[in-house]
Amino acid sequence: MTGIVKLFRRDVRGTTADTPRRTFIRRALSGYFAKRYPLQDAYADWQAARTTAAAIKFDAVNRLDTHLETFARQAEARGTKVFFASTGAQARDYVLALCREQGVRSIVKAKTMTGEEIHLNEALEKEGYGVVESDLGEYIVQLRKEHPYHFVFPCMHLKRGEIRATFEKALGDVGSDEPENLTMVARRVLRQEFLKADLGISGANFLVAETGQISITENEGNARLTCALPRIHVALVGIEKVVPRFEDLALFLPMLGTAGAGQALTGYNTLYAGPRQPGETDGPEEFHVILLDNHRTRLLADPEQRDALHCIRCGACLNVCPIFKNIGGHAYGTTYQGPIGSVITPHLRGLQDWKHLSGASSLCGACTETCPVKIDLHHHLLQNRRNAVREKGVWWERLLFQGFGLYASHAALWRFGSRLAVPGLKLHSRFSGAWFDPVRLWTKTRTLPRPPERTFRQLWAERQKQKSPRA
Amino acid sequence: MSYPPSDKAAVLTRIREALRLPARVPHQDSHAPSFPALPGKEEIGRWLPAVGAGYEERVALFARQAAALKADFVRLPALDAVPSHLAALAQAEGWPADGIASHPGEHSASLVEKAGFRPFLALPGYDRAKLESCAASVTACEALIAQTGSVLVTTRESGGRALTILPPHHIVVATRDQLVPDLPAAFARLRQAYGGTFPSMISFITGPSRTGDIERILVLGAHGPKKLTILFVG
């Protein structure tokens, strides 16, 4: 067992035992459900919209090379600097070189999960650059030195009192713990950061291949400020974020808002094409787009799971996932939590180290059903399990299944075994869950049903006997 | 140290290598996969929430959406009515005489002037601290979208990037011909207006700036305008 699994088990034991926090998370999500489903029902046909969105993403991902070349050509024609990074290290080095070359002193960041993925903040801070997260949730978790709990709602696990305590530690007295007041405190502090920053870093939700635009979806306006005020703007984007055409966004923007946040359209959906153009009033002098691979091509090379790259990171699969709701976002130990994280992390960071996430699933399929781009998530979890065993099986599991195969394919063995099972289960019920119980891992938290008196075969035989006199 | 070289060739090679095997089509029988074709552009809007056909219906829908978003929607009979409305807003909210930002244009600065103010103009090289201290901004827009209650702004039509996001109250002036039914129509309008050479920023603004990051409770004015007023002439 690797250290990652041990850590996962330890964290999960803690979070599942924390009933008040679990209740809090459920309550926080209830507002999302109350808003999302009526919006979805207002679509002329939500299912058809999903099929259309999936087909557009299918084209985007399966012709990724062409689309990225078009994107780069169009973006460069507008004065955007496009940088392809194979690894997180290359992307970090590029940003660091940019900071040095341009004499950057102050950096403000809008939310970027890709930035989390490559640990960009840590790299910048190590070189002595101060980075301030401007998304309210990200700012809060940054002050707490935590990772985001949910890749759309980063601090949904925190109560207002905890957030006030965090602010007081960092900023001094902040007054009441009302969300309104705490938000205004952050607004005042971060406004000053926006005004002094000379570099703004953001992610992007979509790359429009045809026009070389990036599209950013947000509610707060912090990304708008990040892309308006600093003299340099860098967008860090995964290569899979492509859509082929400008008009495709007329479908993706509302679907992202609906599935992601229960909003018909999120507050600001903004397309950027290049730095400030001739004749424009303001905007950055330089605009850089970093297109990041970082093992996405490994996932691309798997024809069975390639559709996981359709993901638009709406987070809906987390919100509906019974596992996420019970173990919480931090226990995953990944940048991307929930079902989509469990599917893609083994590809991004290694199957053997992260295969346990595919096991931590009830395979209920709620994720697949809710996904706006129809990613076959729960089947991918099964495929990860299969691939992990194929690549490196466990000898005793193999032996167990071979034994079961033998047992189940020989009638006499089956008859003998099931007859033994009745007294066996009765005996087991006396020490179920005790320290010497061989299946204690399972029985310590579960109670087996009362063992039956007779096997199915015995019942069947009796029934036939009762029937036969009349026949 | 200079910039590291872009790894474009390596990334594209890996992508082409990966795409040599055709994808399994999700949710389909693997024996007879039919690869989905890229849906036509007309397909894109077909499944979105329906919008009424008539002009009045669309105005009503926009008004309903705006109200749900906590934006103020004001319908005015003519452009002449805008200055007096601005003056009333200024008085009600106590804007200082020099605290209204705008950009040159018939649906923006000239209306502010007619209301009796000297607007702070967002012109190239403007004083950013001054803009930040303004109480309100008055701008034109590209379009209003009835389907979602959104305001479409661009760097070209609405005075750059910061004017529509920095001051705490954003007032948008729109006219009858700017109301479009839905998002596909808004994209078509942009395409028609700009061909392929789009302004460097195009933003769909849907309600005032908002956040739900603390206990999922809605708070307005997280970073951008706390108030959004749409003065609709038509």
Give residue-wise pLDDT tens across range B43-86. 999 999 999 989 999 999 999 999 999 999 999 999 999 999 99
Q: Taking all residues of chain B, what is their mean pLDDT, rounded to a whole number?
A: 95
What's the burial of A334, exposed, middle or buried (CB within 10 Å: 0-12/13-18/19+)? Answer: buried
CA distance A13 to B151: 48
Nearest CA in chain B to A41: B49
Confidence of residue A455 (pLDDT cuts 50, 70, 90): confident
Of B147, B165, B214, the CB nearest to A224: B165
Query: Are residue A128 and residue A277 in the same domain, yes or no?
Result: yes
User: Is residue A303 in a domain?
Assistant: no
- Kindly list the residues from chain A whose CB atom is less than 8 angstroms away from the CB atom of residue B6: 82-85
**Residues of chain A above pLDDT 90, percent:** 89
Q: Which residue of A32, A227, A243, A281 is the best one to mutate when testing the B interface, meaning the one whose CB has the most B CBs within 10 A?
A: A281
Taking CB atoms and an 8 Å cutoff, what residues of chain B touch A243? none
Percent of chain B surpassing pLDDT 90: 90
Tell me the chain A residues in contact with residue B183 when contact means C-beta distances shorter than 8 Å. 250-251, 253-254, 265
Among A393, A421, A444, give the residue marking a domain's end.
A393
User: Are A221 and B65 within 8 A, CB to CB?
Assistant: no
Query: Nearest Cα to A278, choosing from A75, A78, A71, A73?
Result: A78
Q: What is the mean pLDDT of chain A?
A: 95
**Least CA distance to B9: which residue of chain A?**
A84
In a shared domain, residues A223 and A135: yes
Residue A398 inside a domain? The answer is no
The predicted model gives A17-31 an average pLDDT of 94
Q: Identify the domain containing residue A104 by its residue range.
A: 48-294
Alpha-carbon distance of A449 to A355, in angstroms, equals 30
- What's residue A457's pLDDT? 86
Residue A200 belongs to domain with CATH number: 3.40.50.10420
Shortest Cα–Cα distance, A427 to chain B (Å): 46
**pLDDT score, position B33:** 59
Same domain for A258 and A349:
no
- Position A401 in a domain: no
A305 assigned to some structural domain: no
- B224 vs A contacts (CB less than 8 Å): 220-221, 224-225, 267-268
Average pLDDT (A94-98) is 98
Does the structure show a pLDDT above 60 at A84? Answer: yes
Given A393, A423, A450, the domain boundary residue is: A393
**Given A294, A324, A341, which residue is the final one in a domain?**
A294
- pLDDT reported for residue A234: 98
Using DSSP's 3-state secondary structure scheme, residue A243 falls into: strand
Are A32 and A55 contained in the same domain?
no
The answer on pLDDT for A469 being more than 70 is no
Q: Is A80 inside a domain boundary?
A: yes
In chain B, how long is the greatest CA-to-CA distance? 73
pLDDT value of position B31: 57
pLDDT confidence band for B146 (50 / 70 / 90) = very high
Chain A (93-132) residues lying within 8 Å, Cβ to Cβ, of chain B: 93-94, 97-98, 100-101
Q: Is pLDDT above 90 for A448?
A: no
Measured between alpha carbons, how far is A258 from B151 in angstroms, rounded to an integer?
Answer: 18
Q: Is the pLDDT of residue B26 over 90?
A: no
Both A78 and A172 in one domain: the answer is: yes
**Residues in Cβ contact with B129 at an 8 Å cutoff, skipping those fewer than 6 apart:** A195
Q: How far is B151 from chain A (nearest CA, A)?
A: 10
Judged on CB neighbours under 10 Å (0-12, 13-18, 19+), A435 is exposed
pLDDT reading at A81 higher than 70: yes
Q: Are A322 and A447 contained in the same domain?
A: no
Q: Per-residue pLDDT averaged across B133-141, rounded?
A: 98
* B202/A271 Cβ within 8 A: yes
| B35 pLDDT higher than 90 | no
The pLDDT, as a whole number, for residue A470 is 58
A354 touches chain B (CB under 8 A): no
How many domains does one find in chain A?
Answer: 3
- Separation between Cα atoms, residue B230 and residue B175, nearest integer Å: 10
User: What is the band of A1 on the pLDDT scale with cuts at 50, 70, 90?
Assistant: low
pLDDT in tens, A271-323: 999 999 999 999 999 999 999 999 999 999 999 999 999 999 999 999 999 99
* Per-residue model confidence as pLDDT tens digits over A426-444: 899 889 888 999 888 888 8
Do both A439 and A329 map to the same domain?
Answer: no
Rounded to the nearest 10 degrees, the angle between the axes of helix A395-408 and helix A411-431 is 120
Closest Cα to residue A290, out of A358, A357, A239, A364?
A239
Q: Determine the residue among A50, A218, A282, A378 to mutate to test chain B binding: the one whose Cβ has the most chain B Cβ atoms within 10 Å.
A: A282
- A323 in the same domain as A256: no
Whether A302 is in a domain gets the answer no
Domains defined along chain B, listed by start: 54-233 (3.40.50.10420)
Helix axes A456-467, A411-431, angle to 10 degrees: 120
- Rounded CA separation A99/B96 (Å): 40
Do both A174 and A95 map to the same domain? yes
Residue A307 in any domain: the answer is: no
pLDDT digits (tens, 9 = 90+) for A344-400: 999 999 999 999 999 999 999 999 999 999 999 999 999 999 999 999 988 998 999
The backbone torsions φ and ψ at residue B151, rounded to the nearest 5 degrees and listed phi first, read -110, 130
Q: What's the confidence (pLDDT) of residue B227?
A: 98
Residues A143 and A268 in one domain: yes
Would you state the structure tokens that stand for residue B210, as one six-digit string?
Answer: 């908002």
Please check whether residues A338 and A276 belong to one and the same domain. no
Residues A226-250: what's their mean pLDDT?
98
Cα B2 to Cα A30, A96, A100, A102, distances in angstroms = 50, 10, 9, 11
Task: State percent of chain A over pLDDT 70.
Answer: 99
Whether A179 and A243 share a structural domain: yes
The least confident of A30-44, A448-462, B80-94 is: A448-462
Among the partner residues A163, A283, A375, nearest to B161 by beta-carbon distance: A283
Give the three-class secondary structure for A259.
helix
- Nearest CB neighbour to B183, from listed A56, A250, A301: A250
Judge whether A442 lies within some domain.
yes
Lowest mean pLDDT among A238-242, A269-273, A386-390, B25-29: B25-29
A144 touches chain B (CB under 8 A): no
Is A458's pLDDT higher than 90? no
